[in-house]
Amino acid sequence: MTARGRLWLFLVGAAAFAMVFVTACFSLPPFGSVHHPYGERAVRAALSHHTANVIASVNFDLRALDTLGEETILFAAVLGTVVLLRQTADEQRTRPEPAVVRPRVRWFALAMLPFAMLIGLYVIAHGQISPGGGFQGGVVTATALHLLYLAADYRALERVRPVPLYEIGDAAGEAAYVVTGLGALLAGSAFLANVLPLGTFATLSSGGTVILLNAAVGIEVTSGIVVLLARFLDQAVEIGHADDGNDHGNDGKERV
What part of residues 172-231 is at the interface with another protein (CB under 8 A)? Answer: 201-202, 221, 224-225, 228-229, 231
Q: What's the CA gap between 172 and 227, in Å, rounded?
A: 14
Residue among 187 and 245 whose Cβ is closer to another protein: 245
Residue choice 92, 94, 143, 205 for contact with another protein (CB under 8 A) = 143
Residue among 76 and 185 whose Cβ is closer to another protein: 76
Residue choice 124, 135, 184, 192 for contact with another protein (CB under 8 A) = 135
Identify the burial level of 226 via C-beta atoms within 10 angstroms of its C-beta, where 0-12 means exposed, 13-18 middle and 19 or more buried: buried
Q: Render the burial of 8-43: b for 16+ CB within 10 Å, e for the rest.
A: eeeeeeeeeeeeeeeeeeeeeeeeeeeeeeeeeebe
Q: ∠ at Cα 225 (239, 88), nearest 5°? A: 25
Residue choice 92, 130, 178, 205 for contact with another protein (CB under 8 A) = 130
Tell me the Ramachandran region of residue 218: left when phi exceeds 0, alpha when psi lies from -120 to 50, beta otherwise: alpha
Q: Which of 64, 102, 7, 35 is nearest to 207 (CA)?
A: 64
39 binds another protein (CB under 8 A): yes
Q: What's the CA gap between 120 and 222, in Å, rounded?
A: 9
Least CB distance to another protein at residue 25 (A): 4
Q: What's the CA gap between 47 and 232, in Å, rounded?
A: 42
Residue among 188 and 246 whose Cβ is closer to another protein: 246
Are 164 and 152 in contact, with CB atoms under 8 Å apart? no
Least CB distance to another protein at residue 214 (A): 12
Least CB distance to another protein at residue 252 (A): 6
Scanning residues 9 to 38, which ones bind another protein (CB under 8 A)?
9-10, 14, 17-18, 21-22, 25-26, 28-34, 36, 38
Measured in degrees and rounded to the nearest 5, phi and psi for residue 36 equal -135, 80
161 binds another protein (CB under 8 A): no
Using CB under 8 A, which of the segments 105-113, 122-130, 161-169, 182-190 binds another protein?
A: 122-130
Residue choice 87, 189, 200, 250 for contact with another protein (CB under 8 A) = 250
Least CB distance to another protein at residue 186 (A): 27
Q: What's the CA gap between 4 and 12, in Å, rounded?
A: 12
Measured in degrees and rounded to the nearest 5, phi and psi for residue 59 equal -70, -45
95 binds another protein (CB under 8 A): no
Could you tell me how many residues of this chain bind another protein (CB under 8 A)?
A: 82
Residue among 32 and 188 whose Cβ is closer to another protein: 32
Tell me the Ramachandran region of residue 96: left when phi exceeds 0, alpha when psi lies from -120 to 50, beta otherwise: beta
Residue among 59 and 194 whose Cβ is closer to another protein: 59
256 binds another protein (CB under 8 A): no
